[in-house]
Amino acid sequence: MSAPSAELQAVLGRRWRKPPLIRRTWLRWALGLGALVYLAAAISSVEVNWSRVYEGLDRGGAFIMSFARPDFVTRGSDIWDGLMESLIMTVAASVVGIAISIPIGLGAARNIAPLPVYLVCRGIVALSRALQEIIVAILLVAIFGFGPLAGFLTLSFATIGFLSKLLAEDIEAMDRSQAEAIRATGSGWWQWINYGVQPQVMPRLIGLSMYRIDINFRESAILGLVGAGGIGATLNTAFDRYEFDTAAAILLLIIGIVMALEYLSGVIRARVQ
């Protein structure tokens, strides 16, 4: 048996201590102190009106209680119209968004697109990802007027950024040999994409599309706040009038639909993958 090394000799017989997360002492202290100073500054700049909060506790309790007896009936027709509009916007925007994001996703994949096309498509993706849905909705409402058209356009635009980026990343990570084998048979560009690239990315594309439909429905629930159609306007009115029973009913419906969509997309994804 060889003698233990000097390094081991030095620590033998001492109690084990957890190694620190950050090795350098000064950096550890500086980061910790910085975080503390920031937290103190941040918390002190938040003004909380505790008496107002205390008053609100009753209302909060009333709201939580109203989940036990949601009121689907009183504003039944408003809820139904809003929900249908949300669903319609979701379906239409998902179809159009997915249809547009496929060519843009192809263009944004560096291994199949020439550089100028790549740059343009990446620019579109970056723009769409940087602007939040609600801001796009405000601008589109100002331009196209109130109604579901603005919401539909907003969701389509957001879908493009999300789906094209992930599709392009998937295409960039694909197995080149399969695509090359198709090329070697003398196929044209379309045949190459259709038989070499498409079968490799299709399962993931379907999975991501299902996920995006789910997100689109969730987002469509808030677009109504700025006048872009959907259930959001009804929900806003319910909160403004303190009609918590109706609000609870709407929230339960949203949660239910989101859960159903998530379950459905889980089933579909399990089947295609």
Partner 1 sequence: MPVVENAAGNRVWMRRTTGQSMLRWFGWLLGVAVFVWCWNRISDSTTWFFVWDAPRIAGDILTRATPPRWSYIDELWLPIWDTLNIATLGTILALIMAVPVAFLAARNTTPSARFVRPIALLIIVSTRSINSLIWALLLIAIIGPGIFAGILAIAIRSIGFCAKLLYEAIEEIDHTQVEAISATGASRWQVMAYGIVPQILPAFAGISVFRWDINIRESTVLGLVGAGGIGLQLSGSLNTLAWPQVSLILIVILFAVIVSEWVSAKVRSAII
Residue 203 contacts by C-beta under 8 Å, 6 or more apart in sequence? Answer: 272, 273
> Both tokens of residue 76?
């039944």
Angle at which helices 133-144 and 198-223 pack, to 10 degrees?
70
68 is a contact residue toward partner 1 (CB under 8 A): no
Which of 78, 183, 236, 269 forms a contact with partner 1 (CB under 8 A)? 236
206 is a contact residue toward partner 1 (CB under 8 A): no
**Separation between Cα atoms, residue 192 and residue 184, nearest integer Å:** 10
**Separation between Cα atoms, residue 254 and residue 215, nearest integer Å:** 12
Toward partner 1, which CB reaches closer, 174 or 253?
A: 253
32 is a contact residue toward partner 1 (CB under 8 A): no
Residue 16 contacts by C-beta under 8 Å, 6 or more apart in sequence? Answer: none
91 is a contact residue toward partner 1 (CB under 8 A): yes
* Per-residue binder mask for partner 1 (CB under 8 A), 141-170, x = binder: -xxxx-xxx--x------------------
Binders of partner 1 among residues 92 to 131 (CB under 8 A) are 92, 95, 130-131
Which of 26, 47, 188, 189 forms a contact with partner 1 (CB under 8 A)? 47
242 is a contact residue toward partner 1 (CB under 8 A): yes
Stretch that binds partner 1, among 6-14, 160-168, 170-178, 219-227 (CB under 8 A): 219-227
Is 172 in contact with 263 (CB distance < 8 Å)? no
Residue 200 contacts by C-beta under 8 Å, 6 or more apart in sequence? Answer: 174, 175, 178, 179
Widest Cα–Cα separation across the chain: 85
Residues that bind partner 1 (CB under 8 A): 38, 42-43, 45-49, 52-53, 56-57, 59-60, 63, 84-85, 88-89, 91-92, 95, 130-132, 134-135, 138-139, 142-145, 147-149, 152, 218-219, 221-222, 225-226, 229, 232, 235-236, 239-240, 242, 247, 251, 254-255, 258-259, 262
